[in-house]
Structure 1
Amino acid sequence: MFSRHFLSLFFCGLVVQFDAYLMDGSGGTQVKKHDAGGGMSEKARLKAERRAKQEKERALKQAKKAEKEGETKIKAQNVRISSNVQADDPKIRKKTAKKLEREQIPKRAEGPKKVGLFSHLHQYQRGISMTKELGLGSTKIHPSILRLGLQYAEGVISGSNARCAALINAMKEVVLDYQTPPDKELSRDLESKIKPCITFLNQCRPLSVSMQNAIKFIKAQISSSKSELSDVEAKHKLCESFDNYVEVNIHLAGEAISKFARQTIKNDDVVLIYGGSSLINRVLIDAHNAGCNFRVVVVDGRPRLSGIGALQKLTKAGISCSYTLVSGVTYLLPEITKVMYGAHGLLSNGYVIGAVGTSLVSLAAQSLNIPVIVCCETYKFCERVQTDSIVNNEIGDPLDLLADDGSYDPMLISKESWNELENLKVLHLTYDVTPPDLIATVVTDLGMIPCTSVPVVLRLKNLELDTS
């Protein structure tokens, strides 16, 4: 009797404990999910920490990817530069030949006589036709680009501003005649269509700093065009941005520079200018029209003799002018009060790229403590670094330095006699670089700045592009 009662109590206790275990397990789960204080459970906390770690790793991976893309862009830019300044490298030449063949662009033949010190640069001659091997209808190059390239090669269009404005106008015609294929987007397909055009222009004549910056702007505008726009709206917007680029960076910038620069010109000044610059001509004519009485000495150099055009424009405006070649500049410097000239571009290290001879004039002026004023638009600033005229330059046609047959000057070598002299080589450099120590100030559309402020201006321009 006692044993039976004890066993019944024992089994009842087991059942109660088993039920409590089951209830405690289910209830414990509920308690773990929702604590009494409303806080996060251990499992949810671990999940949140794991998610935060994944987000951190993803952000780190994206940062590394962006850094790698930036390095790739810089490397690609260095490759483009090296293709222009490593013409004697077999690997670069082979890569360039493949690119030209892929884009169906004929390679411009090199000159027969190259100076050994400058063999890393391309030396072209105008006597070799660029369009001889281009068939009608078989080329990817737009007719406006063909015409523009030939004008560059023949020297019909020269000067940084004129070359940039002509490029923008030609690209407008390319955009207006473009038709987007049914299975492609304008922002991607149009950029691939303009690459052969740029390559062809580079074959005709190496791109100037102003053209390189304009091409960057064109590509950025094309890649940022919205896909929801129709072709007509997208092309209209692109052409409007191209016109705005020319208006802001050339016309309005020239107006601002003229306003700042004519403040430096005083009565009875004798201003020396070198060569011909449309910007300098505008500054001097505006200063004369404002009532300032001064005199101009135009110094010129062969073979372009671009100062003759500047002399004609200034004398036509009523400015008293004198003219001499660069060989006589030291005789005129004692009466000069300031030197002014335009620039092809400003480098990141403060060096000024100008027509060959500007460095010589600046050095001679600095020896007599004559201030040298450079006028340059900020869209000509570039991030390249250069300290001499040898590493990167443009070699012009050597025949320009030679005399035609029957020349009045017996000291000049004729073109026919030059071909007969195998050991005689002619070097025709287009640009030189002037160190910032020789420049007093740079007049830009932002105001008067020292040469060392170029990186600051470039940083501000990059910020404007990123925010826009």
Structure 2
Amino acid sequence: MEIQSGLSKKELKAERRAKQERERALKNAKKAEKDNSEPKRKTQQNARISSNIQADDPKVMKRTAKKMEKEQIPKRVEGPKKVGLFSHLHQYQRSVSITKALGFGGTKIHPSVLRLGLHYAEGVISGSNARCAALINAMKDVVTDYVTPPDKELSRHLESSIKPCITFLNQCRPLSVSMQNAIKFMKAQINKCKSDWSEDDAKSKLCESFDNYVRVNIHLAGEAISKFARQTIKSGDVVLIIGGSSLVNRVLIDTHNAGCNFRVIIVDGRPKHSGIGALQKLTKAGIPCSYSLITGITFLLPEVTKVMYGAHGLLSNGYVVGAVGTSLVSLAAQSQNIPVIVCCETYKFCERVQTDSIVNNEIGDPLDLLATDGCAANATLVNYDSWNALDNLKVLNLTYDVTPPDLIATVVTDLGMIPCTSVPVVLRLKNLEAD
């Protein structure tokens, strides 16, 4: 039977089926194109995030150089000689100041950020908490002096204005975990600014939220950690600490002031010798202390009852990022069945996963290790001024260690004492609280 269109039912059915197939194929093609574009965007985002650990990738470095040129940020001078195993990391060398190429009034970087970056590069400000608090204070100055351009929204334009500041600070010294989390918080607070707010109200609320972040995550968190950690130290204990940590110093001084009698052994190492500052603070508080280099750790452990140190960050897989030497001391303590206690604020928890100190680390200035420190033996071994002429000499100055959770007895946080494996739970709770 024929239809008015001149086609039979069978032909119409075949035409409809062909039309459906074409529409289905077009829909699948669009979906595949969308799926392919999302991983590409994620890959680009991850490449930007991990540019600090891809110093040997020409494409990444070219993209980074183009970004820095756009933001008018000078590139810091790389070290002339790198250790092959760590060639993917940046190795800066102390030479000409990074601000030499910046002209007067021709930069987008706030003067407070310039001063802070130089303090980072020269080691004037060190330690996770100190660096994070200084960053917050510098960004408060940026927000206070910020003026929204015409036809622009503060929540959109301010975030783009602080990007060159963050890039400059990252050039001076790679961002710590605490600083990265603080930057995420600041950007989130900027995005929360409503369009109907006046500029003065928005800036006032931003500065207030920045102050509250420091107060809650550093000051109040340190007070809570001191309260919890005090329970782990008993009279007669011999506590071994590594280097100098402001949080651990506070815990020990508060415990001593509470009437607990114990002794502290400080192990330290080159090049920073940060344990000398801890030794001065603890002895001034009246705590009996002993000081030794880390090379004598095996001779000290038989009299040690507890090992305690601070952390620069806790990773999602439970690994602890600490000052170089913490992994060695933790391993030695486990061999003697001595509990290792880590003190860390929860704002230093991060979602990054790492199992060694090679993939991601910070390489310090090699000249710090070549300094003679008044030792004639070192002076005859290495010429401080012309060590580059020694082709076979390459110096590696690592900043951080990564300690596996198997070596850690407990982590004292502002939420209480938890195992290292509870980091994902804390991160999930923090994300829910932020939402």
TM > 0.5: yes
Structure index of larger Rg: 1
Tell me the residue number matched to 2:108.
140
Q: Give the partner amino acid of 2:317.
A: N
Structure 1: segments with no counterpart, 5+ residues:
1-60
Say yes or no: does 1:391 pair with 2:359.
yes
Structure 1 residue 76: Cα displacement: 5.0
- SS of the residue aligned with 1:125? coil
Distance in 1 between residues matched to 2:229 and 2:40, nearest whole Å: 41
Deviation at residue 129 of structure 1 after TM alignment: 1.6
Asked whether 1:347 is paired with 2:315, we answer yes
Equivalent position amino acid for 1:160 in 2: S
Per the alignment, residue 244 of structure 1 pairs with: 212
Out of 360, 373, 388, the residue aligned to residue 419 of structure 1 is 388
Secondary structure in 2 aligned to 1:409? helix
- What does the per-residue CA deviation read over 1:321-354, in whole Å, with 9 as the maximum and x for residues that have no partner? 0000000011000000000000000000000000
| 1:408 Cα deviation after fit | 2.8
- Give 3-state SS (helix, strand or coil) of 2:355's partner: coil
Matched, 1:256 2:224: yes
Structure-1-length-normalised TM-score:
0.84
For 1:353, what is the secondary structure of its paired residue?
Answer: strand
Deviations 1:37-61 (A, max 9, x none): xxxxxxxxxxxxxxxxxxxxxxxx9
**1:26-37 equivalent positions in 2, closer than 5 A:** none
Structure 2 counterpart of 1:434, one-letter code? T
Which amino acid is 2:383 matched to? S
1:428 and 2:400 aligned: no
What is the match of residue 78 of structure 2?
110
Question: In 2 relative to 1, CA 142–305 (structure 1 residues): closer, same or farther, beyond 3 Å?
Answer: same
Cα distance in 1 for residues equivalent to 2:203 and 2:303: 55
* Cα shift at 1:412: 4.5
Q: Separation in 2 of the partners of 1:457 and 1:338?
A: 26
Counterpart residue number, 1:297: 265
CA–CA distance in 2 between the matches of 1:308 and 1:363? 23
- Which amino acid letter does the alignment assign opposite residue 275 of structure 1? G
Confirm whether residue 360 of structure 1 aligns to residue 325 of structure 2: no
Q: Do 1:272 and 1:299's aligned partners in 2 also have CA atoms closer than 8 Å?
A: yes
**After alignment, is 202-211 or 72-81 more displaced?**
72-81
2:135 counterpart of 1:167 = yes
Q: Is the 8 A contact 2:77 2:95 kept in 1?
A: no
Aligned to 2:16: none
Instruction: Please state how far the C-alpha of 1:68 moved relative to its aligned partner.
Output: 9.7
Equivalent-residue separation in structure 2 for 1:224 and 1:129 (angstroms): 37
**1:128 — aligned with what?**
96
> Offset at 1:73?
7.5
Tell me how far 1:128 sits from its aligned partner. Answer: 2.8
Identity %: 81
**Corresponding residue for residue 277 of structure 2:** 309
C-alpha spacing 1:70/1:247, structure 2 compared with 1 (3 Å): farther
Pair 1:210–1:73, CA change in 2 (3 A) = farther
Matched residues in 1 for 2:45 and 2:233: separation?
40
1:1-38 per-residue CA deviation (whole Å, 9 max, x = no partner) reads xxxxxxxxxxxxxxxxxxxxxxxxxxxxxxxxxxxxxx
Residues 122-176 of structure 1 show CA distances to partners (whole Å, capped at 9, x for unaligned) of 0001223201110100100000000000000000000000000000000000000
1:446 aligns with 2:415: yes
Q: Distance in 2 between matches of 1:316 and 1:145?
A: 34
Q: Distance in 2 between matches of 1:142 and 1:69?
A: 36
* Aligned residue identity for 1:166: A
What is the CA–CA distance in structure 1 between the aligned matches of 2:359 and 2:232, rounded to whole Å?
35
Give, in whole Å, the separation in 2 of the partners of 1:319 and 1:406. Answer: 30
Contact (CA 8 Å) 1:403, 1:414: kept in 2 or not? no
Q: Which amino acid aligns with 2:427?
A: L
Aligned to 2:162: 194
2:121 to 153, 175, 178: 153
Partner of 2:21: none
Q: Secondary structure at the match of 2:120?
A: helix
**2:338 counterpart of 1:375:** no
Count residues with an aligned counterpart. 404
Q: Which residue of 1 aligns with 2:296?
A: 328
